[in-house]
Amino acid sequence: RPWNFSAGPSALPLEVLQHAAAEMTDWHGSGMSVMEMSHRGKQFTQIYEEALADLRELLQVPEEFDVLFMQGGASAQNAIVPLNLIGRRDARKADYVLAGIWSNKSHKEAQRYGDIAVAASSGAQADVDGRTQAPWTWFPKPADWSVRADASYLHICSNETIGGVEFPDWPDMKSLGAPEVPLVVDVSSHFLSRSIDFSKVGMVYAGAQKNAGPAGVTMVIVRKELIGHALPICPSAFDYANVSAAGSMFNTPPTYAMYMAGLVFKWLKKQGGIASMEAANIAKARALYDYLDGSSFYVSTVHPSYRSRMNVPFFLKDESLNAAFLEGADAADLRQLRGHKSVGGMRASIYNALPLEAVQALISYMQDFERRHG
């Protein structure tokens, strides 16, 4: 198959697709497709329980966290998070770090539910480590975040899929002078690509359609003590307390997407788990960024300390060659490299399912294109 560099929904491991195809019409002799099963029946219960246990094992999720499978994507969480958490404290405050389009969307949606402030923003040109950085090409340093000690939570998006900006090391809220404020992280586009230090977080959430499976299921990993504070206006199906009490079966869950995510979790375990995946992702990203940095034909505009391992936007110095680049890439079986419309240029998303070989194929096409047009 061609290599698929889509930012999401993105490539899934071929092995997972083939496995699902082989049992599409008859799961384990049940005579049913997974999408035809009752979510409360014994077959689907087994699928769900295995997926849950595998996800917990992969990420080493501590006991004090609940793992919920929800619907509505990460965008719905932009409302569901404040609906569930902002009422924890009487002031109904929440603070947001802005580092790109996704965190901006989260911040905008939250404003409907309380007193929302910006803790820090990379939305202006700034000098970062002695380099002049364009807006949204870097991440504000925690030392510069201003978090209100009585906020109900602090929200960040740790990998900005569109800008290609990744936040490498989450702060301990004590060091920000706000020990009572839980950190809430949108990890959608680097979920399962690296380990998570749960001692630093109150909650993480991710839409599945990058590293975890097809669109339709949203993973929420939340400290149990944060559950149970939903505002009265919170829809029942989105109240973490209801979803948790019902074992993610408050209503019919996205059963097929959960099954597929479960197959991805098993594939990840077979690859050696998150540590192996992380090492592979470091090698892939290094190969691509090293090539970009060594080239005078292409350029990466993101500050080196905040470059995403998953989403690599890059530009041709001569942008009049963009169409030819994409056409040639397609012919070379390298798909979906066009950059997001708000950024332009190109973007290679190199999620877990893409091996180093795919990145090498991209680099070799880029070298060849440069030879012909440089």
Q: Which residues are catalytic?
A: 102, 186, 210
| Buried b or exposed e, range 324-345, using 16+ CB within 10 angstroms | ebbebbeebebbbbbbbeebeb
What contacts 270, CB < 8 A, 6 or more positions away?
Answer: none
Q: Indicate which single residue of 4, 122, 133, 189 sits in contact with ligand PLP (rule: CB under 6 A).
A: 189
352 belongs to the binding site for ligand PLP (CB under 6 A): no
Nearer to ligand PLP among residue 160 and residue 365 (C-beta) = 160
State in angstroms the smallest separation of the CB of 46 from ligand PLP.
Answer: 27
Side-chain-facing half-sphere of 197: CA atoms under 13 Å: 10
Is 186 marked as a binding-site residue?
yes
Nearer to ligand PLP among residue 152 and residue 188 (C-beta) = 188
CA 263/CA 17 separation, integer angstroms: 9
Q: Which two tokens stand for residue 45?
A: 């219960």
State in angstroms the smallest separation of the CB of 267 from ligand PLP.
Answer: 21
Q: Indicate which single residue of 69, 102, 167, 240 sits in contact with ligand PLP (rule: CB under 6 A).
A: 102
Vertex 186, ends 180 and 192: CA angle to 5°?
Answer: 115
Q: Which stretch binds ligand PLP (CB under 6 A): 60-68, 70-78, 291-299, 338-346?
A: 70-78
Q: Indicate which single residue of 20, 51, 59, 74 sits in contact with ligand PLP (rule: CB under 6 A).
A: 74
N-terminal to C-terminal alpha carbon distance within the chain? 29
Is 255 marked as a binding-site residue?
no
Is 25 marked as a binding-site residue?
no
Nearer to ligand PLP among residue 163 and residue 361 (C-beta) = 163
Q: Which two tokens stand for residue 50?
A: 């295995």
Side-chain-facing half-sphere of 212: CA atoms under 13 Å: 32
Residue nearest to ligand PLP (CB): 73
State in angstroms the smallest separation of the CB of 42 from ligand PLP.
Answer: 30
CA 285/CA 297 separation, integer angstroms: 19
Which residues between 129 and 188 bind ligand PLP (CB under 6 A)?
Answer: 157, 161, 186, 188
CA 316/CA 373 separation, integer angstroms: 11
Is 209 marked as a binding-site residue?
yes
Nearer to ligand PLP among residue 162 and residue 361 (C-beta) = 162
Strands (E) located in 255-332: 298-299, 311-316
The annotated binding site for pyridoxal 5'-phosphate is made up of 74-75, 102, 161, 186, 209, 251-252
The annotated binding site for L-glutamate is made up of 40
For binding to ligand PLP (CB under 6 A), which residues are involved? Answer: 8, 73-75, 102, 157, 161, 186, 188-189, 207
